[in-house]
Structure 1
Amino acid sequence: MEFRIERGELTDAVAWAARVLPTRSPVPVLGGLLLEAADGVLRISGLDYEASARIEVPAGTVRPGKVLVMGRRLLDVCRVLPEGPVECAVEGSRFTVTGSGAGFGLSVLPLDDYPALPPLPEVLGAVDAEEFAAAVADVTVAAGRDDTLPTLTGIRLGLDGDRMTLAATDRYRFAVRRLTWKPAAGDVSADVVVSARRLTEIARSFGRSGPVRLALDSGSAGFERDGMRTTVRLLDGRLPRHDKLFALSDPVTAVTDLAPLVEAVKRVSVVADGDSPLQLAFGSGSVLLQAGYEDDVASQRLPAELRGTEELTVAFKPSYLMDALASFDTPVVRFLLMGPGQRAMVTGHADRAEAAGTAEPVHQHLLMSVKPLV
């Protein structure tokens, strides 16, 4: 096996495939990347028990063949190679990488022990890469971190015709994001749970533009675009449906500008130790943010519109409120409030007129309020 390729192209391809490799594995070959060169194409593949990745890039093939080498070591080598063309070859029991006077020799792993990559499931349609990555980022902040509850560490991926719904919850908050996609058939329907960490990696890896093809079967999800293909095993179980949780009866509505609110939350939260709450006291034309106890306190007042009552005070865990607000990229946010210790909905809007409307927002974040400051 022997091929030639530019250093930058090799590094990018190796990095894309190596992201699925396990940090530690009892099976040594799973730390390897499979390189296959033939007919002017270099194919690089990696996998573990949860995910797989394969990428194809142009390369000058001198001698076709394949080799299995430790993936993270190969990535380290690629990152320190000088810029310019790189020559790679299998010489006996070593894989050599040379370029601009620098040379490396890496030991090879046994090919016979390497498992076959899982096939790509049936392609159901395509979604814009940039919009999908933004939607995943919007909801992943609410995904659980407790591995003893694996389903809650995932993101619900729901398909219903041309509408895609992403949702995540850790039991204390619930984020939902809706977007349109292009199904291959009009009657596409699915409801699965994908690891939030894996889905975030996948969404980021496909870049900022162009369609990404989505594939699903009963056990895995697949994504494919421009010579890049990745699969991830689905999580068992189902996330709670958000429909009833999000149905708030006669809530009080508060509307304010997002950017000043984010800065105020950051500022006032400095004195909020541990899980101590951050209080929002909504009144006529303003909201007063307060945090801290006894001698260490902070406050800031901002303009706000309140509808449904003359005044209402609620409080939230500062980090949860900050995560929710940071997931929006709109100028205005709206709070739908039920009262202290009850559910509260945060939604993003283009302006105050939209916030006053009744159209279903595409991005919603549900939080539980806590006991306000005394």
Structure 2
Amino acid sequence: MKFKADRATLLRALAHIQSVAEKRNTIPILANVLMSAEDGLLRLTATDMEIAVVEEIAAEVLRPGVTTAPAAVLYDIVRKLPDGSVVELDHSGSEAPLSLRAAKYATSLNVLPVDDFPSMVAGDLPHSFALSAATLRGLIDRTRFAISTEETRYYLNGIYLHVAEGQTGPMLRAVATDGHRLARVETELPSGAEAIPGVIVPRKTINELRKLLDEGAADIEIFVSDTRIQFRAGPVLLTSKLIDGTFPEYERVIPKGNDRILRVGKRDFADAVGRVAAISQERSRPVKLSVAPNLLTLSAVSPDQGMAKEELDETSVAYESEPIEIGFQARYLNDITDQIETEVEFAFADSAAPTLVRDTNSPSALYVLMPMRV
């Protein structure tokens, strides 16, 4: 195999590939990228046996062939080459090293047998539909902060993508929860998605997909089966296993009768939470909300640092119900308000019950936050 490729084009593809390749795996081949050159195209593949990424780029193929190379090392070398370089890779076959040249730079890399590289074949993916990159980005950004990192509850370690009945009919819905907060976002059901099974897309897959959504692809093709999901974003194909588990009946934790409604400007609220929480070095950083008609007082107490308090009045607060005091983790409040545009709506029941949080400008998103004692 021998080919030449533009350094910038090759670097962009290797950036996607090397983040999937396993760097500390007991199976050495999983740290490698599979490179196949033929008919003016270079196809790069990496997998950790849970996710596989395939990307095609244009290349000047001087001799067709296939080989492997250490993904992280190759990426680091290409990243440090001068802008505008043309990278030439040459592998004569068998156990010979892979030669890399660019201008006056030359090196060689050890390869592993191509036959050792695993094939992560997706198999039959009977359901397919398309979403715009902007829509898919919105579903991910407004839910992934609530994905659980607790490995014992593995079925919460991803986003639950499924069809659900919305106010205007069937919707495509994304849900994530860690037991302390829940994020639910929905969008119009795309053609072809009507019969998809409910699937849990793993956190790592979500993070890799999110990177691809900033690369400029207009529409994302999505293919689904009971065990696999596949995303095609321009020249990149991302295939992933799904989490084999049952997502909890999340609708049961969404409160229905919360009638104490607080509306507050997002920026004023988020800034006040940040200033008040700064008094505490604790990871949980509890913040108390004391709500009265058209007045919101935020406060926090630290045994070591003292106490902080800030008031927001009717210029940014609207509240007409009975006074209430309730506490939340500052980080959880910030995670939710980061997804909201201009105004946050809190719906309280009492100081111990789950609180409903909405974006007044986006009815498609809904959040639930569990209170804490302060």
Say which of 333, 344, 352 aligns to 1:341. Answer: 352
1:342–1:370 Cα contact (<8 Å) kept: no
Mapped contact 1:21–1:48 kept (Cα < 8 A): yes
> 1:366 is matched with which residue?
368
User: 1:336 is aligned with what amino acid?
Assistant: A
* Deviation by residue 1:20-67 (Cα, 9 ceiling, x = unmatched): 112321111111100000000100001112100000111111110011
Deviation digits for residues 126-166 of structure 1 (CA, Å, limit 9, x no counterpart): 11112212321211111111112211111101135873211
Partner of 1:300: 310
State which of 328, 338, 343 in structure 2 corresponds to 1:332.
Answer: 343
The 8 Å contact of residues 133 and 204 in structure 1, kept in 2 or not, is answered as: no
Could you tell me how far apart the structure 1 residues matched to 2:37 and 2:18 are? Answer: 17
Conservation of the 8 A alpha-carbon contact between 2:5 and 2:59:
yes
The DSSP-based 3-state class of the residue aligned with 1:141 is helix
User: Which segment is superposed worse, 80-89 or 36-45?
Assistant: 80-89
Secondary structure at 1:244 match in 2 = helix
Whichever residue aligns with residue 347 of structure 1, its letter is R
Per the alignment, residue 358 of structure 1 pairs with: none
Give 4+ residue runs of structure 1 displaced > 4 Å after superposition: none
Cross-structure match for 1:130 = 134
Matched residue, 1:319: 331
Please list, as runs of the form range in 1=range in 2, the aligned pairs for 1:27-38 lying within 5 A after superposition: 27-38=27-38
Distance 2:354 2:122 in 1: 43
Q: Write out aligned runs for 1:192-211 (5 A).
A: 192-207=199-214, 208-211=216-219
In the aligned structure 2, how far is the partner of 1:225 from the partner of 1:162? 25
Give the Cα separation in 1 of the matches to 2:82 and 2:90. Answer: 18
Structure 1 CA distance for aligned equivalents of residues 174 and 249 of structure 2: 11
Q: Is residue 124–residue 188 contact of structure 1 (8 Å, CA) maintained in 2? A: no
Contact kept in structure 1, 2:172 and 2:189, CA below 8 Å: yes
Per-residue deviation, 1:366:
0.6
1:357 corresponding residue in structure 2: none
Aligned to 1:238: 246
Gaps of 5+ in 1: 355-360
Question: Counterparts of 1:272 and 1:195 in 2: how far apart (Å)?
Answer: 33
Give secondary structure in 2 for the equivalent of 1:72. Answer: helix
Q: Distance in 1 between matches of 2:59 and 2:227?
A: 34
CA distance in 1, matches of 2:344, 2:10: 44
- How many matched pairs? 360
8 Å contact from structure 1 (residues 286, 302) kept in 2: yes
Matching residue of 1:286 = 295
Indicate conservation of the 8 Å contact 2:46/2:53, yes or no.
yes
RMSD: 1.9
Check 1:337–1:190 CA distance in 2 against 1; reply closer, same or farther (3 A cut).
same
The residue identity in structure 1 corresponding to 2:109 is L
- More deviation, 298-307/122-131: 122-131
Identity over aligned pairs, percent: 23
Task: String of CA shifts for 1:67-105, please: whole Å, max 9, x gaps.
Answer: 111111111111011222221111451111111211121
- Structure 2 residue aligned with 1:173, among 174, 177, 181? 181
* Letter aligned with residue 40 of structure 1: G
How does the TM-score come out when normalised to structure 2?
0.91
Residue 53 of structure 1 corresponds to 53
Residue identity matched to 1:147 = E
**Amino acid across the alignment from 2:196:** S
Residue in 2 that maps onto 1:259: 267
Q: What is the correspondence of 1:18-33 to structure 2 with a 5 Å cutoff?
A: 18-33=18-33
Question: Is the partner of 2:30 in helix, strand or coil?
Answer: helix
The aligned counterpart of 2:88 is 87
